[in-house]
Structure formats: C-alpha cells, structure tokens
Amino acid sequence: MTPSQTQTELRMTRHIRASRERVFDAWIRPALLSRWLGPEAVTVDSVELDPRVGGRYRIVAREAGQTRVVTGEYKELVHGRKLVMTWAFEGPTRHDTLLTVLFEDLDGGTELTLIHERFASAEDMGHHEQGWVGSLDKLAAAMAGPIG
C-alpha cells in the first residue's frame, strides 16, 4: 500500500488479489462491507446502503465501547470502476468529506485507489489514514477467501 497526502487529501493505493467486480461488490453489499470496514478493533453493527447516485448510506460501528455512525450520499457510481460519496461522522462536529474509490485491473487482481479529501484538519486526516490502512488490510484478507 502506498499512502500519500497533502493538507486536505489522503491518497492510498492497494493491490488486491480479486477481480474488480468482486472488490467493488465488497463496497456496495452490506453483508460484505460489514466484514472489513474499520481497523482491527472496530466491529460493524449495522450497514444500510442505497448504492445509486443520490442514494444514502449509514454505517454503525463500535470501538472500545464507543459507537460511531458514518453517513453520506453517493455522488457517482460506475459499477466495477468508481465510487464517489460524501463521508461524515454524525455528531456536533460533523464535517462532510469526499471519498473517491477507483478500481482498475492489475496483474490478475485489482488496483484500488482511495482518495479521501476535504478534511477539517491534518489531525482529522491522520485519524482517517489509520482507519483506512486497517480497513484495506481487512478488505484484502476478506478477498483472499470465499465471499458470497
């Protein structure tokens, strides 16, 4: 995985040994998303997705006894190729960011590029970077086994 960042943009690439369609589906199917989203200490309690332009999503997760809810809206969806969505944690300090995920064929698998931008601070971006590194590790592991 190669992370790079500016003050307001986090960019990561990851090679995953699974087809583009399979990796893409892991982002838009609730049962699959709940298996890998969040770093190791995070448990996903519920996932509601309406994967279409203008559709919304809501994910409830727990870490160390604290519940966090992330919500957003799908802005662009090209099946098997691209997802663009807003991303924000519910609460008094809510700040909408923009998440873009690109899927390309590479070496018998998928090169996933994640671009997360419009952070309120470098500290906020750093927290998200840690979360995405752990999430993408879990996604790669989930894709290594059977997935339904």
Whole-number pLDDT of residue 94: 87
Whether the pLDDT of residue 141 is over 70: the answer is yes
CA distances from 81 to 14, 21, 53, 112 (A): 15, 8, 14, 9
Q: What is the mean pLDDT of the chain?
A: 92
Whole-number pLDDT of residue 145: 67
Whole-number pLDDT of residue 5: 46
Rounded to an integer, the average pLDDT of 32-45 is 95
* Highest mean pLDDT pick, 67-76, 90-99, 125-134: 67-76
Domains contained in the chain, CATH given: 2-144 (3.30.530.20)
- For residue range 111-121, list pLDDT tens digits in order: 999 999 999 88
pTM of the model: 0.91
Q: Give the full edge-to-edge strand order of the sheet including 2-5.
A: 2-5, 9-16, 109-117, 97-106, 82-89, 66-78, 56-63, 43-49
CA–CA distance, 144 with 147 (Å, rounded to integer): 9
Question: Which stretches of the chain are assigned E, i.e. beta strand?
Answer: 2-5, 9-16, 43-49, 56-63, 66-78, 82-89, 97-106, 109-117
